[in-house]
Amino acid sequence: MTMLDRLFEITNKHHEFFKYSIPLIASENVTSYLVRRFYTSDFGHRYAEGKVGKRYYQGCAFIDELEALAIDLTKKLFEVEHANVQPISGTIANMAVFFALTNPGDTIMSLSVPHGGHISHDRFSAAGLRGLNVKYYAFDNENFNIDVDATKRKVEKLEVKPKVFVLGASLFLFPHPVEEISEIARDVGAKVVYDASHVLGLIAGKQFQDPIREGADVVTASTHKTFPGPQRAVIMCKKELAKTIDKGVFPGVVSNHHIHSLAGYVATCLEMMEFGEAYAKQIVKNAKRLAESLYNLGYDVLCPDLGFTESHQVVVDVSKFGGGDKIARMLEDVGIILNKNLLPWDDVKNADNPSGIRIGVQEVTRLGMKEEEMDTIAELIDTTIKEKKSKDEIRKMVREFKSNYTTVKYTFEECPAYDFPELC
Ligand SMILES: Cc1ncc(COP(=O)(O)O)c(C=O)c1O
Protein backbone atom coordinates (compact mmCIF):
# COMPACT_ATOMS: atom_id res chain seq x y z
CA MET A 1 0.00 0.00 0.00
CA THR A 2 1.39 3.44 -0.90
CA MET A 3 1.43 6.27 1.61
CA LEU A 4 -1.27 7.93 -0.47
CA ASP A 5 -3.45 4.82 -0.31
CA ARG A 6 -2.86 4.81 3.41
CA LEU A 7 -3.99 8.43 3.67
CA PHE A 8 -7.20 7.61 1.79
CA GLU A 9 -7.73 4.55 3.93
CA ILE A 10 -7.36 6.49 7.20
CA THR A 11 -9.71 9.20 5.98
CA ASN A 12 -12.31 6.77 4.68
CA LYS A 13 -12.20 4.76 7.90
CA HIS A 14 -12.69 7.93 9.95
CA HIS A 15 -15.73 8.86 7.87
CA GLU A 16 -17.16 5.34 8.19
CA PHE A 17 -16.53 5.40 11.96
CA PHE A 18 -18.50 8.62 12.42
CA LYS A 19 -21.23 7.56 10.00
CA TYR A 20 -22.13 4.64 12.25
CA SER A 21 -21.36 6.23 15.64
CA ILE A 22 -23.50 8.53 17.75
CA PRO A 23 -21.61 11.86 17.93
CA LEU A 24 -22.24 13.59 21.26
CA ILE A 25 -19.15 15.77 21.76
CA ALA A 26 -20.60 19.14 22.80
CA SER A 27 -18.03 21.21 20.88
CA GLU A 28 -18.41 19.63 17.44
CA ASN A 29 -20.83 19.65 14.54
CA VAL A 30 -21.10 18.71 10.87
CA THR A 31 -21.15 21.19 8.02
CA SER A 32 -23.38 20.95 4.96
CA TYR A 33 -22.05 20.32 1.45
CA LEU A 34 -22.86 23.96 0.74
CA VAL A 35 -20.33 25.00 3.38
CA ARG A 36 -17.80 22.31 2.41
CA ARG A 37 -17.95 23.38 -1.23
CA PHE A 38 -16.30 26.67 -0.26
CA TYR A 39 -13.47 24.92 1.63
CA THR A 40 -12.25 23.70 -1.72
CA SER A 41 -12.29 27.13 -3.36
CA ASP A 42 -9.18 29.05 -4.41
CA PHE A 43 -9.73 31.34 -1.42
CA GLY A 44 -7.81 28.72 0.56
CA HIS A 45 -4.64 29.44 -1.40
CA ARG A 46 -4.52 33.19 -0.72
CA TYR A 47 -3.39 35.73 1.82
CA ALA A 48 -5.36 38.79 2.91
CA GLU A 49 -3.56 40.47 5.78
CA GLY A 50 -5.08 43.69 7.01
CA LYS A 51 -8.63 44.95 6.66
CA VAL A 52 -11.16 45.11 3.86
CA GLY A 53 -9.88 47.66 1.34
CA LYS A 54 -6.56 48.03 3.20
CA ARG A 55 -4.48 44.94 2.44
CA TYR A 56 -0.77 44.33 2.36
CA TYR A 57 -0.93 41.92 -0.61
CA GLN A 58 -2.40 42.34 -4.08
CA GLY A 59 -5.09 40.05 -5.46
CA CYS A 60 -7.66 40.67 -2.73
CA ALA A 61 -10.50 42.34 -4.67
CA PHE A 62 -12.94 39.45 -4.25
CA ILE A 63 -11.62 38.52 -0.83
CA ASP A 64 -12.53 42.06 0.21
CA GLU A 65 -16.05 41.51 -1.07
CA LEU A 66 -16.24 38.19 0.74
CA GLU A 67 -14.97 39.55 4.06
CA ALA A 68 -17.29 42.58 3.81
CA LEU A 69 -20.19 40.17 3.29
CA ALA A 70 -19.10 38.06 6.28
CA ILE A 71 -18.95 41.16 8.50
CA ASP A 72 -22.29 42.42 7.25
CA LEU A 73 -24.07 39.09 7.80
CA THR A 74 -22.56 38.69 11.29
CA LYS A 75 -23.76 42.16 12.26
CA LYS A 76 -27.27 41.38 10.94
CA LEU A 77 -27.54 37.90 12.44
CA PHE A 78 -26.39 38.95 15.91
CA GLU A 79 -27.57 42.58 15.76
CA VAL A 80 -24.16 43.95 16.73
CA GLU A 81 -22.38 47.16 15.84
CA HIS A 82 -19.01 45.68 14.95
CA ALA A 83 -17.72 42.26 13.91
CA ASN A 84 -14.24 40.93 13.26
CA VAL A 85 -14.40 37.66 11.32
CA GLN A 86 -10.68 36.92 11.09
CA PRO A 87 -9.80 34.82 14.17
CA ILE A 88 -9.03 31.28 13.10
CA SER A 89 -10.26 29.68 16.33
CA GLY A 90 -11.99 30.47 19.60
CA THR A 91 -8.74 30.38 21.53
CA ILE A 92 -7.18 32.83 19.06
CA ALA A 93 -10.23 35.10 19.42
CA ASN A 94 -9.78 35.10 23.19
CA MET A 95 -6.06 35.82 22.81
CA ALA A 96 -6.85 38.74 20.51
CA VAL A 97 -9.24 40.19 23.06
CA PHE A 98 -6.74 39.79 25.92
CA PHE A 99 -4.15 41.44 23.67
CA ALA A 100 -6.55 44.30 22.99
CA LEU A 101 -7.96 44.93 26.45
CA THR A 102 -5.18 44.05 28.89
CA ASN A 103 -1.50 44.47 29.61
CA PRO A 104 0.78 41.81 31.09
CA GLY A 105 0.36 41.75 34.86
CA ASP A 106 -3.32 42.79 34.76
CA THR A 107 -5.92 40.81 36.65
CA ILE A 108 -8.95 39.14 35.03
CA MET A 109 -11.90 37.21 36.45
CA SER A 110 -12.64 33.79 34.94
CA LEU A 111 -14.50 30.60 35.70
CA SER A 112 -12.14 27.85 36.80
CA VAL A 113 -12.02 24.79 34.54
CA PRO A 114 -13.96 22.49 36.95
CA HIS A 115 -16.64 25.21 37.08
CA GLY A 116 -16.89 25.12 33.30
CA GLY A 117 -14.33 27.72 32.21
CA HIS A 118 -12.31 27.09 29.06
CA ILE A 119 -8.54 26.66 29.38
CA SER A 120 -8.00 29.76 27.22
CA HIS A 121 -9.60 31.81 30.03
CA ASP A 122 -7.04 30.47 32.43
CA ARG A 123 -3.43 30.83 33.36
CA PHE A 124 -2.39 27.58 31.62
CA SER A 125 -3.31 28.98 28.20
CA ALA A 126 -4.19 32.24 26.40
CA ALA A 127 -4.65 34.32 29.58
CA GLY A 128 -1.37 32.95 30.93
CA LEU A 129 0.45 33.68 27.68
CA ARG A 130 -0.63 37.30 28.00
CA GLY A 131 0.83 37.27 31.52
CA LEU A 132 -2.52 37.81 33.21
CA ASN A 133 -3.25 37.18 36.82
CA VAL A 134 -6.41 35.02 36.84
CA LYS A 135 -8.87 35.19 39.75
CA TYR A 136 -11.84 32.84 39.81
CA TYR A 137 -15.51 33.65 40.24
CA ALA A 138 -17.25 32.21 43.27
CA PHE A 139 -19.45 29.38 42.00
CA ASP A 140 -22.79 28.07 43.19
CA ASN A 141 -22.67 24.30 42.58
CA GLU A 142 -26.40 23.81 43.19
CA ASN A 143 -27.46 26.34 40.59
CA PHE A 144 -24.52 25.51 38.36
CA ASN A 145 -23.80 29.18 37.91
CA ILE A 146 -21.69 32.11 39.09
CA ASP A 147 -22.45 33.19 42.65
CA VAL A 148 -22.90 36.91 42.03
CA ASP A 149 -22.98 38.10 45.66
CA ALA A 150 -19.94 36.09 46.72
CA THR A 151 -18.11 37.26 43.57
CA LYS A 152 -18.95 40.88 44.38
CA ARG A 153 -17.48 40.46 47.85
CA LYS A 154 -14.40 38.79 46.37
CA VAL A 155 -13.84 41.65 43.91
CA GLU A 156 -14.28 44.25 46.67
CA LYS A 157 -11.49 42.59 48.62
CA LEU A 158 -9.06 42.49 45.67
CA GLU A 159 -6.32 45.10 45.97
CA VAL A 160 -5.71 45.09 42.22
CA LYS A 161 -9.06 45.31 40.46
CA PRO A 162 -9.75 43.16 37.38
CA LYS A 163 -9.53 44.71 33.92
CA VAL A 164 -11.71 42.07 32.30
CA PHE A 165 -14.51 39.80 33.48
CA VAL A 166 -14.75 36.72 31.26
CA LEU A 167 -18.13 35.00 31.01
CA GLY A 168 -19.25 32.02 28.92
CA ALA A 169 -18.03 28.48 29.40
CA SER A 170 -17.24 25.05 28.02
CA LEU A 171 -19.50 23.35 30.53
CA PHE A 172 -22.49 25.58 30.02
CA LEU A 173 -25.97 24.59 31.15
CA PHE A 174 -27.63 27.89 31.99
CA PRO A 175 -27.32 31.53 30.90
CA HIS A 176 -24.73 33.48 32.88
CA PRO A 177 -25.66 36.54 34.97
CA VAL A 178 -24.32 39.00 32.40
CA GLU A 179 -26.28 41.98 33.68
CA GLU A 180 -25.18 41.51 37.29
CA ILE A 181 -21.53 40.86 36.44
CA SER A 182 -21.52 43.85 34.06
CA GLU A 183 -22.63 46.05 36.97
CA ILE A 184 -19.76 44.79 39.12
CA ALA A 185 -17.37 45.30 36.19
CA ARG A 186 -18.57 48.85 35.55
CA ASP A 187 -17.96 49.72 39.23
CA VAL A 188 -14.26 48.87 38.82
CA GLY A 189 -13.90 50.20 35.26
CA ALA A 190 -13.52 46.74 33.73
CA LYS A 191 -14.82 45.29 30.45
CA VAL A 192 -17.01 42.20 30.15
CA VAL A 193 -16.02 39.60 27.56
CA TYR A 194 -18.55 36.84 26.90
CA ASP A 195 -17.19 33.70 25.26
CA ALA A 196 -20.16 32.34 23.30
CA SER A 197 -18.22 29.52 21.62
CA HIS A 198 -20.57 26.81 22.84
CA VAL A 199 -23.83 28.66 22.48
CA LEU A 200 -23.37 30.79 19.35
CA GLY A 201 -25.91 28.75 17.37
CA LEU A 202 -28.43 29.02 20.19
CA ILE A 203 -27.90 32.79 20.32
CA ALA A 204 -28.28 33.02 16.53
CA GLY A 205 -31.54 31.08 16.87
CA LYS A 206 -32.62 33.33 19.77
CA GLN A 207 -32.90 30.43 22.23
CA PHE A 208 -30.29 31.50 24.79
CA GLN A 209 -29.30 34.79 26.39
CA ASP A 210 -28.41 37.90 24.38
CA PRO A 211 -25.04 38.83 25.90
CA ILE A 212 -24.44 42.17 24.16
CA ARG A 213 -27.87 43.56 25.09
CA GLU A 214 -27.45 42.23 28.63
CA GLY A 215 -24.27 44.28 29.05
CA ALA A 216 -21.24 42.44 27.61
CA ASP A 217 -18.76 44.72 25.84
CA VAL A 218 -17.28 41.99 23.66
CA VAL A 219 -18.45 38.56 22.49
CA THR A 220 -15.97 35.99 21.23
CA ALA A 221 -17.07 32.68 19.74
CA SER A 222 -15.85 29.77 17.73
CA THR A 223 -18.18 29.01 14.84
CA HIS A 224 -18.33 25.21 14.83
CA LYS A 225 -20.19 24.00 17.90
CA THR A 226 -23.92 24.82 18.12
CA PHE A 227 -23.22 27.20 15.22
CA PRO A 228 -22.67 24.53 12.57
CA GLY A 229 -19.93 26.20 10.53
CA PRO A 230 -16.26 25.74 9.71
CA GLN A 231 -13.65 25.68 12.45
CA ARG A 232 -12.85 29.37 13.00
CA ALA A 233 -14.18 32.24 15.17
CA VAL A 234 -15.70 35.71 15.34
CA ILE A 235 -15.46 38.66 17.71
CA MET A 236 -18.36 41.07 18.10
CA CYS A 237 -18.37 44.31 20.05
CA LYS A 238 -19.71 47.79 20.48
CA LYS A 239 -18.54 50.42 17.99
CA GLU A 240 -16.28 52.22 20.45
CA LEU A 241 -14.11 49.12 20.90
CA ALA A 242 -13.89 48.29 17.19
CA LYS A 243 -10.42 49.68 16.50
CA THR A 244 -8.89 48.23 19.67
CA ILE A 245 -10.31 44.76 19.00
CA ASP A 246 -9.30 44.81 15.32
CA LYS A 247 -5.72 45.65 16.32
CA GLY A 248 -5.72 42.78 18.80
CA VAL A 249 -6.63 40.42 15.94
CA PHE A 250 -4.27 41.86 13.30
CA PRO A 251 -1.41 42.40 13.78
CA GLY A 252 -2.01 40.96 17.28
CA VAL A 253 -2.51 37.24 16.74
CA VAL A 254 -3.67 36.59 13.17
CA SER A 255 -1.88 36.92 9.86
CA ASN A 256 -3.44 34.68 7.20
CA HIS A 257 -7.02 34.02 8.21
CA HIS A 258 -7.97 30.89 6.22
CA ILE A 259 -10.23 32.54 3.71
CA HIS A 260 -11.73 29.32 2.31
CA SER A 261 -13.28 28.63 5.69
CA LEU A 262 -14.42 32.27 5.90
CA ALA A 263 -16.44 31.60 2.72
CA GLY A 264 -17.88 28.52 4.44
CA TYR A 265 -18.73 30.68 7.45
CA VAL A 266 -20.74 33.05 5.21
CA ALA A 267 -22.69 30.06 3.87
CA THR A 268 -23.40 28.96 7.47
CA CYS A 269 -24.68 32.45 8.36
CA LEU A 270 -27.15 32.15 5.47
CA GLU A 271 -28.24 28.72 6.72
CA MET A 272 -28.69 30.03 10.25
CA MET A 273 -30.71 33.03 9.05
CA GLU A 274 -33.12 30.61 7.39
CA PHE A 275 -33.11 27.60 9.73
CA GLY A 276 -31.38 28.82 12.91
CA GLU A 277 -34.45 29.31 15.06
CA ALA A 278 -35.96 25.88 14.31
CA TYR A 279 -32.57 24.23 14.77
CA ALA A 280 -31.80 25.92 18.08
CA LYS A 281 -35.29 25.18 19.45
CA GLN A 282 -34.91 21.49 18.64
CA ILE A 283 -31.43 21.38 20.19
CA VAL A 284 -32.72 22.65 23.54
CA LYS A 285 -35.75 20.33 23.45
CA ASN A 286 -33.49 17.37 22.69
CA ALA A 287 -31.03 18.22 25.46
CA LYS A 288 -33.83 18.46 28.01
CA ARG A 289 -35.34 15.18 26.87
CA LEU A 290 -32.04 13.29 26.91
CA ALA A 291 -31.35 14.61 30.41
CA GLU A 292 -34.79 13.55 31.60
CA SER A 293 -34.49 10.07 30.06
CA LEU A 294 -31.11 9.48 31.67
CA TYR A 295 -32.40 10.79 34.99
CA ASN A 296 -35.38 8.43 34.81
CA LEU A 297 -32.96 5.56 34.19
CA GLY A 298 -31.26 6.39 37.51
CA TYR A 299 -28.36 8.59 36.39
CA ASP A 300 -27.10 11.55 38.41
CA VAL A 301 -27.86 14.15 35.79
CA LEU A 302 -26.94 17.58 37.11
CA CYS A 303 -29.58 20.15 38.05
CA PRO A 304 -32.85 18.16 37.99
CA ASP A 305 -34.57 20.93 39.95
CA LEU A 306 -33.64 23.48 37.30
CA GLY A 307 -34.91 21.43 34.35
CA PHE A 308 -31.40 19.98 33.79
CA THR A 309 -30.30 22.37 31.05
CA GLU A 310 -31.18 25.38 28.92
CA SER A 311 -28.45 24.70 26.35
CA HIS A 312 -27.26 21.87 24.09
CA GLN A 313 -25.45 20.17 26.97
CA VAL A 314 -26.34 17.50 29.48
CA VAL A 315 -23.93 16.80 32.33
CA VAL A 316 -23.92 13.54 34.27
CA ASP A 317 -21.97 12.61 37.39
CA VAL A 318 -20.87 9.05 36.69
CA SER A 319 -18.57 8.65 39.70
CA LYS A 320 -20.74 5.79 41.02
CA PHE A 321 -19.94 3.89 37.79
CA GLY A 322 -16.18 4.40 38.00
CA GLY A 323 -15.77 7.97 36.74
CA GLY A 324 -15.81 9.90 33.48
CA ASP A 325 -12.74 8.34 31.91
CA LYS A 326 -13.94 4.76 32.27
CA ILE A 327 -17.44 5.57 31.06
CA ALA A 328 -16.33 7.67 28.07
CA ARG A 329 -14.07 4.80 26.95
CA MET A 330 -16.78 2.17 27.44
CA LEU A 331 -19.15 4.22 25.33
CA GLU A 332 -16.57 4.89 22.64
CA ASP A 333 -16.05 1.16 22.37
CA VAL A 334 -19.64 0.71 21.17
CA GLY A 335 -19.71 3.84 19.00
CA ILE A 336 -21.14 6.45 21.38
CA ILE A 337 -18.73 9.38 21.30
CA LEU A 338 -18.63 11.88 24.16
CA ASN A 339 -16.06 13.23 26.61
CA LYS A 340 -15.15 12.95 30.27
CA ASN A 341 -15.42 16.22 32.15
CA LEU A 342 -14.37 17.79 35.41
CA LEU A 343 -17.34 18.73 37.57
CA PRO A 344 -17.46 21.67 39.99
CA TRP A 345 -16.53 19.51 42.98
CA ASP A 346 -13.56 17.85 41.23
CA ASP A 347 -9.96 18.79 41.86
CA VAL A 348 -8.38 20.03 38.63
CA LYS A 349 -5.55 17.55 39.31
CA ASN A 350 -8.15 14.81 38.69
CA ALA A 351 -8.55 15.75 35.04
CA ASP A 352 -7.53 12.24 33.95
CA ASN A 353 -10.51 10.63 35.62
CA PRO A 354 -13.04 13.29 36.58
CA SER A 355 -16.50 12.58 37.94
CA GLY A 356 -18.46 13.62 34.92
CA ILE A 357 -19.34 13.14 31.30
CA ARG A 358 -20.52 15.99 29.07
CA ILE A 359 -23.06 15.28 26.34
CA GLY A 360 -23.95 17.64 23.49
CA VAL A 361 -26.94 17.06 21.23
CA GLN A 362 -26.27 19.69 18.54
CA GLU A 363 -24.79 17.26 16.00
CA VAL A 364 -27.44 14.55 16.35
CA THR A 365 -30.08 17.28 16.12
CA ARG A 366 -28.52 18.47 12.87
CA LEU A 367 -29.00 14.92 11.59
CA GLY A 368 -32.73 15.17 12.23
CA MET A 369 -33.05 13.48 15.62
CA LYS A 370 -35.93 14.56 17.84
CA GLU A 371 -37.13 13.78 21.37
CA GLU A 372 -37.95 10.11 20.70
CA GLU A 373 -34.43 9.47 19.46
CA MET A 374 -33.09 10.98 22.69
CA ASP A 375 -34.90 8.20 24.58
CA THR A 376 -33.16 5.63 22.37
CA ILE A 377 -29.76 7.24 22.97
CA ALA A 378 -30.38 7.22 26.74
CA GLU A 379 -31.27 3.53 26.57
CA LEU A 380 -28.16 2.72 24.53
CA ILE A 381 -25.99 4.59 27.05
CA ASP A 382 -27.69 2.73 29.90
CA THR A 383 -27.36 -0.67 28.22
CA THR A 384 -23.63 -0.01 27.74
CA ILE A 385 -22.85 1.31 31.20
CA LYS A 386 -24.83 -1.39 32.99
CA GLU A 387 -23.45 -4.04 30.59
CA LYS A 388 -26.93 -5.36 29.84
CA LYS A 389 -25.76 -6.82 26.51
CA SER A 390 -22.45 -7.79 24.95
CA LYS A 391 -20.36 -5.06 23.33
CA ASP A 392 -20.86 -6.62 19.91
CA GLU A 393 -24.62 -6.59 20.32
CA ILE A 394 -24.63 -2.95 21.43
CA ARG A 395 -22.28 -1.93 18.61
CA LYS A 396 -24.74 -3.50 16.17
CA MET A 397 -27.67 -1.66 17.79
CA VAL A 398 -25.80 1.66 17.63
CA ARG A 399 -24.92 1.06 13.98
CA GLU A 400 -28.47 0.17 13.01
CA PHE A 401 -29.91 3.15 14.86
CA LYS A 402 -27.40 5.61 13.41
CA SER A 403 -27.84 4.35 9.83
CA ASN A 404 -31.13 6.25 9.77
CA TYR A 405 -29.45 9.55 10.65
CA THR A 406 -26.65 10.29 8.22
CA THR A 407 -28.06 13.32 6.43
CA VAL A 408 -27.41 16.99 7.26
CA LYS A 409 -30.67 18.92 7.85
CA TYR A 410 -31.36 22.61 8.53
CA THR A 411 -29.66 23.53 5.26
CA PHE A 412 -30.90 24.53 1.80
CA GLU A 413 -30.21 21.13 0.22
CA GLU A 414 -29.92 18.12 2.52
CA CYS A 415 -26.70 16.19 1.98
CA PRO A 416 -24.71 13.23 3.35
CA ALA A 417 -23.05 14.04 6.67
CA TYR A 418 -20.18 11.57 6.68
CA ASP A 419 -19.33 10.73 3.08
CA PHE A 420 -15.92 11.77 1.77
CA PRO A 421 -16.94 13.43 -1.47
CA GLU A 422 -14.93 12.92 -4.67
CA LEU A 423 -13.77 16.09 -6.33
CA CYS A 424 -12.12 14.62 -9.36
C1 LIG B 1 -15.79 28.30 25.87
C2 LIG B 1 -14.78 27.97 24.85
N3 LIG B 1 -13.99 28.95 24.37
C4 LIG B 1 -13.05 28.71 23.45
C5 LIG B 1 -12.85 27.44 22.96
C6 LIG B 1 -11.75 27.20 22.01
O7 LIG B 1 -12.22 27.21 20.73
P8 LIG B 1 -11.28 26.65 19.57
O9 LIG B 1 -11.20 25.19 19.77
O10 LIG B 1 -12.01 27.10 18.35
O11 LIG B 1 -9.94 27.31 19.74
C12 LIG B 1 -13.64 26.39 23.41
C13 LIG B 1 -13.44 25.03 22.86
O14 LIG B 1 -14.13 24.11 23.03
C15 LIG B 1 -14.61 26.66 24.39
O16 LIG B 1 -15.36 25.67 24.91
Secondary structure, 3-state, 79-127:
CCCEEECCCCCHHHHHHHHHHHHCCCCCEEEECCHHHCCCHHHCCCCHH
Question: Is 223 among the domain residues?
Answer: yes
Which residue owns the Cα nearest ligand 1 atom 8? 90
Structural contact between residues 309 and 293, judged by C-beta atoms closer than 8 angstroms: no
Question: Is 23 among the domain residues?
Answer: no
264 & 315 share domain:
no
194 & 323 share domain:
no
Question: Residue range 347-366: average pLDDT?
Answer: 94
What percentage of the chain reaches a pLDDT higher than 90? 96
Say if ligand 1 is within 6 A of residue 118 CB: yes
128 & 158 share domain:
yes
Distance from residue 390's CA to the centre of ligand 1 (Å): 36
pLDDT at 424 over 80: no
pLDDT tens digits, 9-19: 999 999 999 99
Distance from residue 197's CA to the centre of ligand 1 (Å): 6
Render 289-332 in DSSP notation, one character per residue: HHHHHHHHTT-EES-GGGTS-SSSEEEEE-GGGT-HHHHHHHHH
Strand, coil or helix: what is 192?
Answer: strand
Say if ligand 1 is within 6 A of residue 346 CB: no
Strand ranges in 127-272 using DSSP code E only, listed in sequence order: 133-136, 139-140, 145-146, 164-167, 191-195, 218-222, 233-237
Question: Is 3 among the domain residues?
Answer: no
Question: Is 169 among the domain residues?
Answer: yes
Say if ligand 1 is within 6 A of residue 89 CB: yes
289 & 265 share domain:
no
225 & 325 share domain:
no
Report how far residue 170's alpha carbon sits from residue 110's, in angstroms, rounded to the nearest whole number.
12
Q: What domain range includes position 224?
A: 34-269
pLDDT of residue 27: 98
Distances (CA, A) of 424 to 40, 105, 421: 12, 53, 9
264 & 380 share domain:
no
Distances (CA, A) of 420 to 15, 36, 85: 7, 11, 28
Report how far residue 260's alpha carbon sits from residue 267's, in angstroms, rounded to the nearest whole number.
11
Question: Is 12 among the domain residues?
Answer: no
Q: What is the CATH number of the domain that holds 319?
A: 3.90.1150.10
pLDDT of residue 421: 84
Distance from residue 22's CA to the centre of ligand 1 (Å): 22
pLDDT at 166 over 90: yes
Say if ligand 1 is within 6 A of residue 282 CB: no
The pairing of beta strand 313-317 with beta strand 82-84: unpaired
Distance from residue 148's CA to the centre of ligand 1 (Å): 24
Residue among 313, 271, 266, 263 nearest 288 (CA): 313
pLDDT of residue 162: 98
Say if ligand 1 is within 6 A of residue 168 CB: yes
Q: What is the CATH number of the domain that holds 123?
A: 3.40.640.10
Question: Is 159 among the domain residues?
Answer: yes
Distance from residue 89's CA to the centre of ligand 1 (Å): 7
| pLDDT-derived band at 161, boundaries 50, 70, 90 | very high
pLDDT at 3 over 70: yes
Question: Is 20 among the domain residues?
Answer: no
Which residue, of 234, 269, 304, is where some domain finishes?
269
Residue among 77, 75, 51 nearest 63 (CA): 51
pLDDT of residue 423: 82
**Per-residue DSSP letter, 205:** T
Question: Residue range 163-192: average pLDDT?
Answer: 98
pLDDT tens digits, 388-415: 999 999 999 999 999 999 999 999 999 9
Question: Is 313 among the domain residues?
Answer: yes
Q: Which ligand 1 atom minimizes the distance to the CA of 27?
A: 14
286 & 398 share domain:
yes
Mean pLDDT of the chain: 97
Distance from residue 91's CA to the centre of ligand 1 (Å): 6
pLDDT at 139 over 80: yes
224 & 291 share domain:
no
Strand, coil or helix: what is 421?
Answer: coil
List beta partners, residue 360: 313
Angle between helices 391-402 and 371-385 (to 10 degrees): 170
183 & 258 share domain:
yes
Report how far residue 165's alpha carbon sits from residue 357's, in angstroms, rounded to the nearest whole number.
27
372 & 244 share domain:
no
| pLDDT-derived band at 128, boundaries 50, 70, 90 | confident
Distance from residue 292's CA to the centre of ligand 1 (Å): 27
pLDDT tens digits, 254-309: 999 999 999 999 999 999 999 999 999 999 999 999 999 999 999 999 999 999 99
313 & 198 share domain:
no
What's the chain's length in residues? 424
Say if ligand 1 is within 6 A of residue 312 CB: no
**Per-residue DSSP letter, 248:** I
Structural domains of the chain, count: 2
The pairing of beta strand 233-237 with beta strand 218-222: antiparallel
Render 6-24 in DSSP notation, one character per residue: HHHHHHHHHHHHHHTSEE-
Q: Which ligand 1 atom minimizes the distance to the CA of 121?
A: 3
Q: Which ligand 1 atom minimizes the distance to the CA of 91?
A: 11
Q: Which ligand 1 atom minimizes the distance to the CA of 89?
A: 10
Which residue, of 216, 241, 269, is where some domain finishes?
269
pLDDT at 35 over 90: yes
Which residue, of 236, 269, 302, is where some domain finishes?
269
Which residue owns the Cα nearest ligand 1 atom 4? 90
pTM: 0.97
193 & 124 share domain:
yes
Distance from residue 222's CA to the centre of ligand 1 (Å): 6
